[in-house]
Chain A
Amino acid sequence: MEKILEVKDLQLSFHTFAGEVKAIRGVNFDLQKGETLAIVGESGSGKSVTTKAIMRLLPESSSEFKSGQILFNGKDLTKLSDKEMQKIRGKDISMIFQDPMTSLNPTMTIGRQITEPLLKHQKVGKTEAKKIAIDLLRMVGMPKPELRIKQYPHQFSGGQRQRIVIAIALACNPQILIADEPTTALDVTIQAQILELMKDLQKKIDTSIIFITHDLGVVANVADRVAVMYGGRIVEMGTVDEIFYNPQHPYTWGLLSSMPSLDSADEKLYAIPGTPPDLLDPPKGDAFALRSDFALAIDLEQAPPVFQVSDTHYAATWLLHPDAPQVEPPAAIVERMKKFPGSRYYEGVAR
């Protein structure tokens, strides 16, 4: 496996009237070639900001990189000039946004919107670009692309518009595709179609995907690895199986418990109590401690370091410290762990 992107100790703040909002407080992760990494977490956890920071799409006047690096093929993106960044955006790294109803320019034909990155980044003429655009539209499953290329966004449905956005993002065969909740604004059947499409296209053009979502069902469907973000940090990261069947951080437990499942239909759905931390004045210790049923005394004093669970799995919680008391995770989580070889509850039942 080849590392294509590496984010090292990234810290980023927003300057607001109320003061400095520490939106990202030391994020580390890497992205392998061809894999799909899902970043999950509640609103305000920093998942969107992290990816917008990678694309350098945050307003320069109010945001500031405090420290850290974003290494893309060895180049530190935080150090590039605007011009250099423009050459990377849309060509090497591109993005799909949450709401297809507002993410296309209403006064431009979709043909022009799709050909724009082609004309910009690849040495093609207008006719050639138009041909590629038609092919792209066909690839994302748009019927009659030759006719539709002349139309405006309002002449398409929400699902079709998201297909167009995907076509734009994939126009230059990017190495990294960032999908910021690409299915959140769509209804469930269209969601499934878009996810299938993305999986298909990923195989076709061999791109890496960073998939931001708060829908764990989607994560299980698309991701190879998962990063769980909370309060501007990654609190747990591992393969899909590790996160779903051997979660270690109390916040991941909470997230998984609050996910409805087919056999929990009669029970009341679990909700994590409390509200997200105020990043204007982040808590001293573990940001999740005040909402956690499993907080230790030290959680309020000192932020937990990262503990390695396996080669691919780590979590930032004091519960993994050798001196920490053994706690029993919630019953639903124990049920999950029973199915995971290597967890302490493993029963050897095939899943």
Chain B
Amino acid sequence: MAKYIARRVFYMFITLFLIATATFFLMKTLPGSPIASASKLTPDQLAVVEAKYGLNEPLPVQYGKYMLNLAQGDLGNSFQFKGASVTDLIINRLGPSFLLGAQGMILGVLIGIVLGMIAALRQNTIWDYGSTLIAIIGISIPSFVFATTLQYWFGVQLGWFPVALWKDGWMSSVLPSIALAMGPLAIASRFIRTEMIEVLSSDYITLARSKGASGFEVAFKHAFRNALIPLVTVLGPVAAGLLTGSLVIEQIFAIPGIGEQFVKAIMINDYSIIMGTTLFFSVFLIFIILVVDVLYGVIDPRIRLSGGNS
């Protein structure tokens, strides 16, 4: 197992190197530069500032310097916030994003699993159709439409929760978390329904019933664990995306999270934040995928063994 994880970490560094390189050059093809928007500067002043930040050097040299710093764990300083290191900026923004993501994920997956189980156990009844309807709504309505609807009804009309901003503590996190939950909810309920229906028709379920197990025991002791595997696969990347901040939702609710900072950074060409956040997302996603692979083994003993040998 340790050997397996060590090799995965090695691959992770190769992946990160490729992502960093691609992002760096893609980013440099964006029109403008961090200081180009400050149009009040004279060409002489501009040259001085560019020289200060090393922006006048040839691209390969800039790339080399960045990668050298990166190898030492230094993500550089932000262009827009004077002297603030990118690492600090990301860490400061992590809290709200992580809270929203975790709440949205847990809420969505739990409700999704319940809906999916109900749909599978009451197949082709009003319960099933109702659960399907909710899933379709969750998948097909864009999150920004759903988010603004929530803001209008529960923020403006009913006044139960703050409309936006991050000022009322946990209450501020409720509406954005619900908005974030719709995606995982829809995915979880559909996957669980399909898998449960398939698992429930398998031979070992008939055997479990022939032993005298009740409907509840069959569904939860025998079928559920076998239905979880495909769900874990799809939910891994979804979790990574949610936990590191949803760009759209944070923008709409004016949440000071990573996503919101990322969008702003792209608009004003804050190179070091773009690079830093991209790499942070990547590390997180790769880590989650590793966790998912380890989880497979926990859920399914057949995978546990082959994973250990490979």
Q: Is residue B54 contacting chain A, with contact meaning CB distance below 8 A? A: no
Determine if A165 and B207 form an interchain contact, defined as CB atoms under 8 angstroms apart. yes
Q: Is residue B302 contacting chain A, with contact meaning CB distance below 8 A? A: yes
Determine if A107 and B212 form an interchain contact, defined as CB atoms under 8 angstroms apart. no
Determine if B222 and A105 form an interchain contact, defined as CB atoms under 8 angstroms apart. yes
- A96-134 interface bits toward B, Cβ cutoff 8 Å, 1 = contact, 0 = none: 010100111111100000001100110000000000000
Determine if B211 and A90 form an interchain contact, defined as CB atoms under 8 angstroms apart. yes
Determine if B204 and A104 form an interchain contact, defined as CB atoms under 8 angstroms apart. yes
Determine if A91 and B212 form an interchain contact, defined as CB atoms under 8 angstroms apart. yes
- B208-224 interface bits toward A, Cβ cutoff 8 Å, 1 = contact, 0 = none: 11111111000000100
Determine if A106 and B213 form an interchain contact, defined as CB atoms under 8 angstroms apart. no
Q: Which of A117, A152, A154, A165 contacts B212 (CB 8 A)?
A: A117
Q: Is residue A87 contacting chain B, with contact meaning CB distance below 8 A? A: yes
Chain B residues positioned under 8 Å from A103 (CB to CB): 203-204, 206-207
Q: Which of B124, B206, B214, B302 contacts A97 (CB 8 A)?
A: B206
Q: Which of B202, B204, B206, B222 contacts A57 (CB 8 A)?
A: B206
- Interface size of A in residues (CB-CB distance below 8 Å): 31
A276 to chain B, nearest CB (A): 24
Q: A57-B210, A87-B212, A107-B301 are in contact. Are A102 and B203 (CB under 8 A)?
A: yes
- B275-310 interface bits toward A, Cβ cutoff 8 Å, 1 = contact, 0 = none: 000000000000000000000000111100100000
Closest to B300 in A: A107
Determine if B212 and A97 form an interchain contact, defined as CB atoms under 8 angstroms apart. no
Q: A102-B202, A152-B302 are in contact. Are A86 and B212 (CB under 8 A)?
A: yes
Q: Is residue B226 contacting chain A, with contact meaning CB distance below 8 A? A: yes
Bound CA–CA A94/B211 (angstroms): 7
Determine if A90 and B210 form an interchain contact, defined as CB atoms under 8 angstroms apart. yes
Bound CA–CA A299/B48 (angstroms): 107
Determine if B300 and A97 form an interchain contact, defined as CB atoms under 8 angstroms apart. no
Chain B residues positioned under 8 Å from A87 (CB to CB): 212
Q: Is residue A89 contacting chain B, with contact meaning CB distance below 8 A? A: yes
Determine if B302 and A154 form an interchain contact, defined as CB atoms under 8 angstroms apart. yes
Q: List 18 A-B contacts (CB under 8 A).
A: A82-B215, A86-B213, A86-B214, A87-B212, A89-B212, A95-B207, A97-B206, A104-B204, A104-B207, A105-B204, A106-B301, A107-B225, A117-B211, A120-B211, A165-B207, A168-B207, A168-B211, A169-B210
- Known contacts A89-B211, A97-B207, A103-B206; 8 additional CB pairs below 8 A are A86-B214, A102-B202, A103-B204, A105-B207, A105-B226, A107-B300, A120-B211, A169-B210
A residues near B (Cβ < 8 Å) are 55, 57, 61, 82-83, 86-91, 94-95, 97, 99, 102-108, 116-117, 120-121, 152, 154, 165, 168-169
